[in-house]
Amino acid sequence: MKPNLRMRKILPIIIIISILSGRGPYTYVYLLPFDNIQNDPAVEWIAAGLTDMVQQELKNNYGVRMKTKDDLEVIMNDRSLMLKQPRGSRNLLILGKYNRQLDKVHVSIQVVDVATWEELAVRQIMEVYTQMASLNKAVGTAVQQMITPYLPSQPVAKISPFPAFTEPKEVKKRHPISVQSEKVASNLDQQIAELEASMDVLLGARVRNKDQPKKGIPRFVSGEWTLDFDVDRKLEDNPENAANTIMLGAVLDQLLTNPYDVELQRPEFEYHEDDELYMTVRFPVVYKLKDKIIKDMLSTLPYTGLEQNGTLTIFYFDRNSFNFPKKHVDAIKAGTFRIVPVIRIFDQNRNTLIVVADTPETYWHTRTSDKVLYVPQHQFSPLIDFAIGGWSLQVAMETVEIQAVYEFILPVTEVESLSNVSLKFVNENELNSFLDPLL
């Protein structure tokens, strides 16, 4: 009997439903790039590391399907696509944002249910700016903990009541004479070696070592290789690299303390047509790296590698040719080389009238002063940066000029008293102690 037309239509639907119901649920995770909420170019590079760490933490979870910003746009334009997912699936959106305040990086993370836009979890993380590895790990671990309650449970494998079948291996038996001859030859070689060692000791050509073997030297004893090692052993300096290290240290001293050339130009004055009592004063300043530093690095230092991309130059150094001085390593890891330009404008009596702090820190942009005209700015950006690991050192430099113009409005009577301008680079860690007495 032939099935009727209605049965023909129902049969494919039943097959599709049965296929879908056989699939386990998934957790679709939409991971967006972390948002630099202050648009601070000095910390823009942090976003990629945070996103990568979260992706690495989540991608190996059972039932997780990682999605991108484009995938989120597709499903938001057609939310019916979620109905085609396996039953019990979840769609989670991870939103992250960060900002730097003084020497701390603050990260905020949200997990949102895409279907209902309900906030499922939120977490706040703070870490020191110089500890990026710890920050990345903390963010990855936090996101893992936040989405764990919404992951599908892994099915338990059924255990068979019968033992697993193994193919019996055929053991090839050696002839007894062959086995015995091999043992005799091995024992004979060992006896000859011991006899030669004894003869050398008697003749004075060798001294019998009664001490324990030195660590780090492999030994072959009783048919196996062994090696004694010290877990507390640290990477030691190579004396052959002393000359190169002296040159590297001299260059790093200048790079970490005084790498910039500054050009202070004469101020510009603009009268206000609508108000003769006030005028605009502009102080142009040009920042750039010292030419001599780059020339010395190109001509004198035997760098391991060099990469140039437009105005960006990256030098690579490794321990095959250099020993890294501890004071420079500590300065780079702690970030104590970061500096901020501070401009002071004086009257004829050397009284401070105007203070300009060129820093991206939000804290200093919220400060005010009753003593002087305080002008927080953000026009200067570091033209040099360092990265160091256990084996290599990288120095990145930009050969560009920063054309900064610091502008403010003053009464005409005060403009006439302006006499001198001073620019000083202040270490970020010392900025508070430097500015507090002035403000």
* H-helix or E-strand spanning residue 388: strand 384-388
Residues 258-276 have pLDDT tens digits of 889 999 988 888 888 788 8
Establish if 409 belongs to a structural domain. Answer: yes
Percent of the chain past pLDDT 70, that is, above it, reads 76
429 & 296 share domain = yes
137 & 277 share domain = no
Establish if 264 belongs to a structural domain. Answer: yes
- How far are the Cα atoms of 266, 344, 347, 354, 374 from residue 412, in angstroms, in the given order? 18, 19, 14, 15, 18
- How far are the Cα atoms of 252, 361, 382 from residue 339, in angstroms, in the given order? 15, 12, 8
Provide the CATH number for the domain around residue 129.
3.40.50.10070
Q: State both tokens at 263.
A: 């050009």
Residues 307-328 have pLDDT tens digits of 888 888 888 888 888 888 888 8
- Given 150, 165, 181, the domain boundary residue is 150
Establish if 162 belongs to a structural domain. Answer: no
- Given 150, 181, 210, the domain boundary residue is 150
Full residue range of the structural domain in which residue 38 is found: 21-150
- How far, in Å, CA of 389 to CA of 162, rounded? 54
Q: Which one, of 245, 298, 258, 285, lies nearest residue 384 by Cα?
A: 258
Instruction: Give the angle subtended at the CA of 314 by the CAs of 313 and 319, to the nearest 5°.
Output: 150
Beta-sheet pairing, 118-128 with 104-113: antiparallel
Residues 27-67 have pLDDT tens digits of 898 988 888 888 877 777 788 778 888 888 887 788 888 88
- How far, in Å, CA of 404 to CA of 283, rounded? 8
DSSP 176-197: HHHHHHHHHHHHHHHHHHHHHH
Establish if 228 belongs to a structural domain. Answer: no
Establish if 296 belongs to a structural domain. Answer: yes
Establish if 282 belongs to a structural domain. Answer: yes
Q: Which one, of 324, 330, 340, lies nearest residue 427 by Cα?
A: 340
298 & 421 share domain = yes
- How far, in Å, CA of 399 to CA of 248, rounded? 20
3-state secondary structure of 9: helix
Residues 148-187 have pLDDT tens digits of 888 887 766 556 565 655 666 665 655 555 555 555 556 5
Establish if 360 belongs to a structural domain. Answer: yes
- Given 121, 150, 179, the domain boundary residue is 150
Please, which pLDDT band fits residue 136 given cuts at 50, 70 and 90? confident
- Give 314's strand partners: 307, 396
294 & 419 share domain = yes
Query: Residue 434: CB partners within 8 Å, gap ≥ 6?
Result: 342, 426
413 & 274 share domain = yes
The total domain count for the chain is 2
Q: State both tokens at 395.
A: 């120095």
Residue 337 has pLDDT above 50, yes or no: yes
144 & 278 share domain = no
Establish if 267 belongs to a structural domain. Answer: yes
423 & 282 share domain = yes
274 & 145 share domain = no
Residues 183-223 have pLDDT tens digits of 555 655 666 666 666 666 555 555 555 555 555 556 656 66
